[in-house]
């Protein structure tokens, strides 16, 4: 059991380390969608699949995070949903092609 927990924590740390630059880049560009910024083919072939993988990973991380937030700060229960589910979902499924 200890080995499984250790393996999970190492995997979570690696994912957090790898996603930190992307999160910084995304937060600096939040709210600035410029159509025509990226080729739609690049967006469809590379950015959307990577965004979908990020959505899946953030969903996996969101489940325990939501439980912790509900116990520690029940009035802020919407914050993890917006940050971990809504924004990645909009990136993948709502934003127009070529807007990233």
Residue 44 corresponds to which tokens in the numbers above? Answer: 């469809």
Q: What is the pLDDT of residue 24?
A: 54
Q: Which residue has the higher pLDDT, 91 or 7?
A: 91
| In a domain? residue 9 | yes
Distance CA 93, CA 81 (A): 16
Q: Give pLDDT tens digits for 24-53.
A: 555 555 555 555 578 888 988 999 999 999
Q: What is the pLDDT of residue 13?
A: 66
Chain center to CA of 65: 13
pTM above 0.75, yes or no: no
| Residue span of the structural domain in which 72 resides | 2-28+39-94
For the chain, what is the domain count? 1
Q: Give pLDDT tens digits for 7-23.
A: 777 776 676 676 655 55
């Amino acid at each position: 059991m200890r080995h499984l927990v250790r393996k999970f924590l190492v995997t979570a740390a690696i994912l957090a380390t790898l996603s930190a630059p992307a999160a910084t880049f995304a937060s600096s560009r939040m709210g600035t969608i410029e159509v025509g910024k990226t080729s739609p083919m690049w967006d469809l072939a590379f950015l959307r699949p990577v965004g979908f993988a990020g959505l899946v990973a953030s969903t996996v991380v969101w489940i325990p995070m939501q439980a912790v937030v509900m116990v520690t700060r029940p009035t802020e229960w919407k914050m993890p949903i917006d940050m971990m589910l809504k924004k990645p979902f909009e990136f993948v499924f709502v934003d127009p092609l070529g807007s990233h």
